[in-house]
Structure 1
Amino acid sequence: MEFDLIHRHFKTPFGPLARANADTVLLGIGDDCAALQISPGQNLFTSTDTLVEGVHFFSDDAPRTTGWKALACNLSDLAASGATPLGFTLNLSLPEVDETWLAGFSAGLLEVATRFNCPLVGGDTTSAGLNTLKTVSITVFGQAAASHRGFNRGHAKADEGIWVSGTPGLARLGLLLEYQKRGRLAECCRGAELQKVQALLAVLPEHLVRQAVSRLEMPVPRIELGLMLHGLASACLDLSDGLSGDLAHVLKASEVAAVLSQTSLESIWRHLWPEIDQHADVAGLLKTLIAQTLKGGDDFELCWTAHPRHRDAIQSLGAGLHCVGIIEQGSGLWLRTPGEERKRISGTSYNHFAESKN
């Protein structure tokens, strides 16, 4: 039964993509090991992530979006390293065989795999035993020129700009909306924060609601951007656990401090939601948005540091790239307000062992 399942939902639908990459995929699904041919003069990059039902995706999420997200969040790690995808393996632990769920999951997985030319080359499917929750583990493989060794988190330097792609915090809005839809908003924000979040969600325009939920469910890894940042970015990572928490990893590794600009972060939201300035409490809404931007995860946008001399080159790469702060000597993460006051940012990032479960 296991092999029929693998053949039906994975080997057959993913076969054409593997065959289209026959020069890279020497052995794939059905053999004891996958064999990948790395191009001459290339370094191998690999990353792995696990998604657990009830933690990383809701039990009633559409299986197609779960499949998409499972691979997309792994591909985002390759993007943050400046690597091109080669292939991936998939491990599934299931409480039961649900053909409808598997068909949808496989379709979403194939959709993102095809878009980024990343063939499925192997894996394992097993029973979860007494565990009633699905677990999805994916390992991706990529390559980059031997001259490129990735964007080391320890390479940020004082006076470099802090850049982000897209709209960090947008997926956090999507998560809050999904909790609200299920009547569970109080599980992820409490007290005064809950009231502020409720006030924000109540006035979100429909176009922003759609974008936020889409970003949460189907993030788009920034593979092309990661490649274009070769020679421009010093340190880089993807935003999976929130801007403040992820940037803190860079600061610790590089032994530097960072100052984020509240005005710059607000301008990103104003561009996406120009109608916000029509609200009487625009300042309060923006404050809540910035708080969620710092805290929220699952954006899978890129955040990187770069020397000031690269500013024009980065801006020429395309729209949606924003310089939101600066690296300084010292320690800690700070927010510079429009009045030039500095406020220390701490304890606002996503924590896998502290946040509410889905």
Structure 2
Amino acid sequence: MEFDLIHRYFKTPFGRLAQANAGTVLFGIGDDCASLAISPGHHLFTSTDTLVEGVHFFSDSSARHVGWKALACNLSDLAACGASPIGFTLNLSLPEINESWLADFSAGLLEVATRFNCPLVGGDTTSAGSNPSKTLSITVFGQAPAAHRGFNRAHAKPGDDVWVSGTPGLARLGLLLEFQKRGRLGQCCRGNELQQVQALLAVLPENLARQAVERLEMPVPRTELGLQLHGFASACLDLSDGLSGDLAHIANASKAAVVLVQTGLESMWRNRWPEIDQHSDPVMLLKTLLAETLQGGDDFELCWTAHPKHRDAIQSLNSSLYCVGTVEPGSGVWLQAPGKERTRISSLSYNHFAEGKN
């Protein structure tokens, strides 16, 4: 049964992609080990992530979207290191065999694998036993020229700019909308935050709500941008656990302070939602968006630091890149509001052992 499933949903549909990369994939699915050929003069990069049903995706989430996201979030790690994908392995732990779910999961996985030319080269499928939840683990392999050592989190320097791609916080809005749809919004936020979020979601434009859910379910790894940042970025990471918490990793590793500029973050949202200033209380809406941006997650956008001399070159790469802060001597992550003393941001990254389940 196990080998039949592997052939039907993985080896056969992914076979064409592996064959198209025969120069890299020397041995793939069907042998005890996969064998990958790294291009001459390149270094290997690898990353692994695990997604658990009820923690990282809803039990009723589309299997196609789960398949897409499972690989996309791993490819985002490679993008944050400036590496190109060359292959991945998949481990599946399933409580039961649901062939309809597997077919859709495989289809979503193949979509993103084909789009980013990342063949499936091996893995394992097991029974979850008495565990009722699906568990998906993916390991990706990538490469970059040996002259590029990645964007180490410890390499941010005082005076550097802080940049982000896309709209960090957008996936958080998608998550809030999905919890609201299930009548469980109170699990995400309580008290004053709940009231503010409800007011925000009530006036959210339909097209922005759709984009938010799409960003949550089908994030797009910034692979091309990661490659374009060679020679520009000093430190870089992908935003998976929230802007403030993820930036704290850079601040801690680099022994420096990161100061986010409120007006920079607000301009990012105004570009995404141009009509926001037409509402009766745009200040409150922007305040709520800012709070959700800082604590959100699952955006899988890139966040990096770079010397100001690269500012024009970076801005020319893409219109959806925003300079939102600076690196300064000190420690921690801070927010600078217009005409006010900067305040230290105390929110931390998503904690898998403290947060509630989906």
| Fold similarity call, TM over 0.5 | yes
Which residue of 2 is the match for residue 323 of structure 1?
323
Matches within 5 A, 1:47-58: 47-58=47-58
Q: How many angstroms apart in 1 are the aligned matches of 2:186 and 2:261?
A: 29
Q: Residues 82-109 of structure 1: CA distance to partner in whole angstroms, max 9, x if unpaired?
A: 0000000000000000000000000000
Q: Are residues 1:214 and 2:203 paired?
A: no
Q: Residues 111-145 of structure 1: CA distance to partner in whole angstroms, max 9, x if unpaired?
A: 00000000000000000000000000000000000
Q: TM-score, with normalisation over the residues of structure 1?
A: 0.99
Aligned length: 358
Choose 340-349 or 62-71, whichever is displaced more: 340-349
Q: TM-score, with normalisation over the residues of structure 2?
A: 0.99
How far residue 340 of structure 1 moved from its aligned partner, in angstroms, is 3.8
Which residue of 2 is the match for residue 311 of structure 1?
311
Which residue of 1 is the match for residue 180 of structure 2?
180
How far residue 349 of structure 1 moved from its aligned partner, in angstroms, is 3.1
Matches within 5 A, 1:104-143: 104-143=104-143
Unaligned runs of 5+ in 2: none
Q: What percentage of aligned pairs have identical amino acids?
A: 78
Which residue of 2 is the match for residue 289 of structure 1?
289
How far residue 348 of structure 1 moved from its aligned partner, in angstroms, is 4.3
Matches within 5 A, 1:196-345: 196-345=196-345
How far residue 318 of structure 1 moved from its aligned partner, in angstroms, is 1.4
Q: How many angstroms apart in 2 are the aligned matches of 1:169 and 1:349?
A: 13
Contact 1:27/1:121, CA 8 A, preserved across alignment: yes
Contact 1:188/1:355, CA 8 A, preserved across alignment: no
Q: Are residues 1:32 and 2:35 paired?
A: no
How far residue 351 of structure 1 moved from its aligned partner, in angstroms, is 1.6
Contact 1:294/1:349, CA 8 A, preserved across alignment: no
Which residue of 1 is the match for residue 7 of structure 2?
7
How far residue 177 of structure 1 moved from its aligned partner, in angstroms, is 0.3
Q: Are residues 1:146 and 2:127 paired?
A: no
Q: Residues 36-93 of structure 1: CA distance to partner in whole angstroms, max 9, x if unpaired?
A: 0000000000000000000000000000000000000000000000000000000000
Choose 342-351 or 43-52, whichever is displaced more: 342-351
Q: How many angstroms apart in 1 are the aligned matches of 2:92 and 2:103?
A: 13
Q: How many angstroms apart in 2 are the aligned matches of 1:100 and 1:340?
A: 56
Contact 1:27/1:35, CA 8 A, preserved across alignment: yes
Q: How many angstroms apart in 2 are the aligned matches of 1:164 and 1:229?
A: 12
Which residue of 1 is the match for residue 67 of structure 2?
67
Q: Residues 256-315 of structure 1: CA distance to partner in whole angstroms, max 9, x if unpaired?
A: 001101000000111110111011111001000000000000000000000000001101
SS of residue paired to 2:313? helix
Q: How many angstroms apart in 2 are the aligned matches of 1:180 and 1:339?
A: 36
Q: How many angstroms apart in 2 are the aligned matches of 1:269 and 1:248?
A: 22
SS of residue paired to 2:326? strand
Which residue of 2 is the match for residue 78 of structure 1?
78
SS of residue paired to 1:234? strand
Contact 1:93/1:135, CA 8 A, preserved across alignment: yes
Q: How many angstroms apart in 2 are the aligned matches of 1:356 and 1:208?
A: 26
Unaligned runs of 5+ in 1: none
Runs of 4+ in 1 over 6 A off after TM superposition: none
Q: How many angstroms apart in 2 are the aligned matches of 1:124 and 1:174?
A: 31
How far residue 343 of structure 1 moved from its aligned partner, in angstroms, is 1.2
Q: How many angstroms apart in 2 are the aligned matches of 1:115 and 1:322?
A: 26
